[in-house]
Chain A
Amino acid sequence: MARKPKRPPRSAAIRARRPIARRPRSTPPPAAGLDLHRCEQFLILEARLLDEGKFDEWLALFTPDAWYWVPSEPNQPDPHETVSLIYDDRRLLETRVRRLARPRMYSQEPRSRTSRIVSNVTIETNDRNACTVRSKFVMIEFRREQQRIFAGTALHRLVQSGGRIMIAWKRVDLVNCDAPLDGITIPF
């Protein structure tokens, strides 16, 4: 018998928690469940798609009602009452990805090149077919003559659908989210 499934936490609850790294559960999740190794491999795949500019394939990782969020404040409680560097519902995320392929996207002329490291992956909550994964990332972006460093914490809500892992939501907290920033065009 599997462990009692936990109710998926609200994102606010995750932030409120003391940042004690949760140890991966000692009891394995249900068969074909989302264990740490699979989650980590998934995050590495996602980072690779983004670094290689395969944005359509990246978009295909998201569920049909997914959202993608980069807050403008540390510990921002929600995306509707406070502005966000990015807050895309599924429709806007599609538009964002489509724009990245447009030839006259001037803010990507020349294109950025990025290199990401994803690490410190932990499973925060784990249910039968879904889990919330916390990871750290560093992204170097090189464009024109400048190199920028972005770093922060990502939370992914991963769900299993037909044997595939998909992203139900993703929240990216940049350490410099409230700094004066030049434009952000490549998703984290």
Chain B
Amino acid sequence: MTSSETLHSLVQSGRVHRRLYTDPAIFEVEMERVFGRAWIYVGHESQVRKPGDYVRTFIGRKPVVLVRDAEGKIRVIHNQCAHRGSLVVANDKGNTDEFQCCYHGWTYHLDGRLKAVPLQHGYPRDFDPNNPKTAMVSAGRVKSYRGFVFASEATDGPSLEEFLGHMTTSFDDMIDRAPDGEIEVAGGTFKHAYEANWKLYLENLCDAAHPLFTHRSSIDAAQQQSDAVYSDGSGEIAIRQMRQNGAPYSFWESQVGIWTYPNGHSYLGDYHDDAKLVAALKDPVFRDYIAAMEVKKGEAETRRVLEVRRWNSNIYPNLSFMSQFQQLRVVHPVAVDRTVVATYNFRLKGAPEQMFRNTISFANTVNGTGSLVLTDDLEIYNRIGMGLSSEGAEWIEIGRGLQSDAPDAHGGRRGKNSTSEVYIRNMFDAWLRYMADGRAAMRAAS
């Protein structure tokens, strides 16, 4: 059912088999071969600033802990007691000197090594607390790119930078927008859930052909909204974004593009420029921001940074982020037909405080569980989940723009324009490589 040959037969030119979204056996193999091999985003260093700071997260379905150990090193350890297997860390985040299992009191150092065991004399004579088998197990490899922490369960394979390839420039874009050159996670998190496959989420994030249709209700409501009505600024940002979703197809076809790179990564570019999003120079906050940037970075560098116009940057298989409003989303597969997405925001150090308020207003609009926009996206995922359970069409189409894919200067492939499904085809290329070819990620040209 999941032999290499079968898997190859399920991914064809411009189409994939519906089983890829519905078959629990394929999901199990994905957990092992995609989430068990790729570099998986696990968090940002600013979430664990001090020794002992930790957050709970997942590599695929596996519960892990991202922690800064006593020496200040970032660790990712499996959240499982080496004794009877209990979850050791139960709180979502916190600060601690050690990890202690609630069952028999096995106690661990912050790097996962066993520290103390009650009743140690009672264990077999060869019991050795220094044996790595008594530790909370570390992830295969842990590496950061400029503060963004990834873990890979594969102990060998391409380095993180090789895995990311040209996509490192999207992280650079996010960080370079901070006048002080530093960003930090702030402002809380959303968790949204839908009853369908995890792959659908990233497959929607460069889909410029859907807003005009899917988000029709919020586009219409926003277009009809009087700007004379009171706003404290937050509603104004939300409404501007909803109106932007109503841009005609010709806009998406002529002004927006999609770039894709090895290992399934992609970004939507030349989308909103800052003029559309923050009313640019008419906006005193943005003027203050530009001034702060110019003081720290100079005029030429400020112009260079702000001229990078990328919308969602997607790191396959579980991360998407967006520089202009400092958003980040992490996809957590739960089951073949259930997915949870956690979303985060970043504060640009050195930027005017109001910028962060705008970030929050924007997050509420695009990521909020009660958002006027996201609710329709969740509806789409749920409906795909229900629709695929039909015995109707056997194949799912991913062929839009297929004839127009063109090579990109950085070893990638770009679509003709933003309505191309090139980024979905690109994800399935990576998927096959992980799933069927028994290979880890590619060493990408950067």
Contact = CB atoms under 8 A, between A and B. Distances in A.
Contact of A92 (B216, B234, B378): B234
B360 A92 contact: no
A46 to B, nearest CB: 18
Interface string B186-224: 111111111100000000000000000010111011101
Interface string B174-190: 00000000000011111
A137 B368 CA distance: 22
Contact of B231 (A76, A81, A90, A178): A90
B368 A86 contact: yes
A113 to B, nearest CB: 17
Interface stretch (A24-32, A94-102, A156-164): A94-102
Contacts of B372: 92, 95-96, 99
Given A91-B230, A92-B234, A181 B220 contact: no
Contacts of A65: 230
Contacts of B150: none
A149 B238 CA distance: 28
A180 B234 contact: no
B360 A183 contact: no
Contacts of B214: 106
Interface of B: 186-195, 214, 216-218, 220-222, 224-227, 229-236, 238-239, 242, 340, 343, 345, 356-357, 360-361, 363-364, 367-372, 374-376, 378-380, 382-383
A92 B357 contact: no
B360 A107 contact: no
A122 interface: no
Contacts, number: 151
B303 to A, nearest CB: 30
Interface string A57-90: 0000000110100101100100111111111111
Nearest to B188: A82
Contact of B190 (A64, A72, A182): A72
B375 A107 contact: yes
Contacts of A184: 369-370, 375
22 contacts: A72-B190, A79-B234, A80-B360, A81-B186, A82-B188, A83-B364, A89-B231, A89-B234, A89-B235, A90-B229, A91-B236, A92-B238, A92-B239, A95-B372, A96-B221, A98-B221, A104-B216, A104-B217, A106-B380, A180-B192, A183-B369, A183-B375
A173 to B, nearest CB: 14
Contacts of A88: 235
B364 A91 contact: no
Given A92-B231, A102-B220, A183-B369, 10 more contacts: A65-B230, A72-B188, A72-B369, A85-B368, A90-B229, A95-B372, A104-B216, A106-B376, A106-B380, A182-B192
